[in-house]
Amino acid sequence: MSLPQDFIWGFATAAYQIEGAATEDGRGPSIWDVHCAKPGKIADGSSGAVACDSYHRTAEDIALLKSLGATAYRFSISWSRIIPVGGRNDPVNQAGIDHYVRFVDDLLAAGITPFVTLFHWDLPNGLDERYGGLLNREEFPLDFENYARVVFAALPKVKHWITFNEPFCSAILGYNTGLFAPGHTSDRTKSPVGDSSREPWIAGHNMLVAHGRAVKAYREDFKPTHGGVIGITLNGDAVYPWDPQDPKDIEAAERKLEFAISWFADPVYFGKYPASMVAQLGDRLPTFTEEERALVQGSNDFYGMNHYTANYIRHKDTPAEDDDFVGNLECLFDSKAGECIGPETQSFWLRPNPQGFRDLLNWISKRYGKPTIYVTENGTSIKSENDLPLEQILEDDFRVKYFDGYVRAMAEASEKDGVDVRGYLGWSLLDNFEWAEGYETRFGVTYVDYENDQKRYPKKSARAMQPLFESLIKKT
């Protein structure tokens, strides 16, 4: 097994999950600041107001990355630090720009390649209040393009750009289940606003168009002089038919991938939504205008892949519910034969299954014409990790095994299957604010002591990555 000689690896984070400093240096509120302030929305009642305090600790985080041997670091930019209200006619905050300029310069000086995400779920709240945020087909794509242009101009040294992180999560968890900001859902016990049957598909469509506008702007006005690449990062779980002898389960497994991944990837690569989605959703799924299609189709220089887990998929014979977003099927952890997909973790949705990673890499590679793939997130929580004494938390053998299995599965996909995978960014560098789960769930290779000045302690998994990659990356 081996990975390409120029393969890069490191770790990933997101602004709202680690930065803190939520009201400092001109930053405006995001929809997550507002969401966290609503009682009952976050498991432990917390927020990202302080988080890992990384806004004040960039030097410490870079030193940590360097000590672990990382060659790349993926982080996201807080839109409301750059344009506090968010819109194209709103003031730009120079202090926010200066912060990220220094951070990029310092990463490069340390020999670490920055991967920069423009949008990791933290929309400026001003845009949500002004026109409904992601639901506005006219305004949102224009404001996102403007924000992207401001950041592109400020950071010419960045060569790897990601427009949106997991638009599936922004759309479904933000506008169907209401679990994530801004919390829209048809369930009136959870939110006074929202239409779970229509809003997520509208939000997804508008993010695709916004992505297309930002990519066009980069390619035409920045790439000729900056020379970088740009893409979108999509999440997706691996699938196995619950009954591998049942054609309906086999078909349902494929449909699950289409509803999760192809919802966004098909328009980017083929200019249209998957037929399975059109068939189930009908007129609830927006249609592309010719102008929108031209913006979106072909708008990836690489495929950003976030992946964590797998499921057995069982079809349903009953009609799809209006709020269904998976393709009218069941996602299970046990097969018809009683096989379990993998061991439990702290996250109810996550069970390790490295073979699924290899299978999904192959599925993406074949469906989309062998694109260059960067794995931009992959990692695991550990059941009850937060309840253990520090000494045991630092001996995170479960996470070491997870990374070892998944990275080797990726290497097999590269070496044996011919998948063009060029980079891997583990989730996450730090324990951090885990969205609706607050600080009860830890994904970091570094323990963060939230009670004692956010002090960092690298876990065993942090130290295991460099020798793992050194054993797999081809030598000169």
User: Which residues have a catalytic role annotated?
Assistant: 166, 377
**Strand ranges for 186-334 from DSSP E:** 229-235, 238-241, 303-306, 310-315, 329-332
Instruction: Calculate ∠ Cα 437-42-346, nearest 5°.
Output: 15
| Residues contacting 109, CB < 8 A, separation 6+ | none
Give the span between the Cα atoms of 158 and 128, in whole angstroms.
29
Q: Are 316 and 328 in contact (CB under 8 A)?
A: yes
Backbone phi and psi for residue 310, each to the nearest 5 degrees, phi listed first: -145, 165
The DSSP line for 226-255 is: H--EEEEEEE--EEEESSTT-HHHHHHHHH
Q: Which long-range contacts (CB under 8 A, 24 or more apart) does 199-202 make?
A: 199/135, 199/175, 200/171, 200/172, 200/174, 200/175, 200/176, 200/325, 201/171, 201/281, 201/284, 201/285, 201/286, 202/134, 202/135, 202/137, 202/175, 202/286
Give the span between the Cα atoms of 363 and 340, in whole angstroms.
22
Name the 3-class secondary structure at 217.
helix
Tell how strand 329-332 and strand 310-315 pair up: antiparallel
Give the span between the Cα atoms of 395 and 316, in whole angstroms.
42
Q: Is 61 exposed, middle or buried (0-12, 13-18, 19+ CB in 10 A)?
A: buried
Q: Are 69 and 465 in contact (CB under 8 A)?
A: yes
Find tokens 């097994």 and name the residue.
Answer: 1
Give the span between the Cα atoms of 168 and 188, in whole angstroms.
22
Q: Are 54 and 87 in contact (CB under 8 A)?
A: no
How is residue 373 written in tokens?
A: 């793939």
User: Residue 340, Cβ neighbours under 10 Å: how many?
Assistant: 13
Give the span between the Cα atoms of 258 and 264, in whole angstroms.
9
| Residues contacting 376, CB < 8 A, separation 6+ | 12, 74, 115, 162, 165, 233, 304, 305, 306, 423, 425
Q: Are 76 and 158 in contact (CB under 8 A)?
A: no
